[in-house]
Amino acid sequence: METSQPTVTEHNHGRIQVVSNISITAKVARRLVNVQLMKKVGQMIITGEPEITIDGSKIHWKVPLFVVPPDGDDNTYQLKHSAFVDAISGIYIMEIDFVEKLKAESTPILRKLYPNLEVWDKKRQSA
């Protein structure tokens, strides 16, 4: 896969134009993160709409993460952590420490909403 560095051009009025070939769409980036979330975290965290970010010569999709209550509650609760997918290569690795941070951040939200969450989860797993 060919990778190219982004070309950055500054325009009048503080606008910046970035030109680069990206191989990974927002939809694919979101799907990559959703798969990793299901494998490593569980089903109560979902992704939001990715936005493109640029850090030096790196272009990533920033994918927001949300806690979704288990009982059909329509509310979602955004987490402070986001996932980042390389927009050129599609590389996304969910490290163990990131998984632990997500669990640590989402558990208090879920416990506040559902004091008997552990009971619900055990029933779901045994069904």
Q: What is the pLDDT of residue 25?
A: 93
On average, the pLDDT of the chain sits at 80
- pLDDT: which is higher, 31 or 126: 31
Q: What is the pLDDT of residue 2?
A: 42
Is the Cβ–Cβ distance between 94 and 40 less than 8 Å?
A: yes
Three-state SS for 14? helix
Alpha helix segments (H runs only) across the chain: 26-40, 96-113, 117-126
Beta bridge partners of 18: 8
Three-state SS for 27? helix
At 20-79, the pLDDT tens digits run 678 899 999 999 999 999 888 877 888 999 999 988 888 899 999 998 876 666 778 899
Among the ranges given (6-20, 32-46, 83-97, 112-126), the one the predictor scored with the smallest mean pLDDT: 6-20
Domain locations in the chain as residue ranges: 7-126
The DSSP symbol for 44 reads S
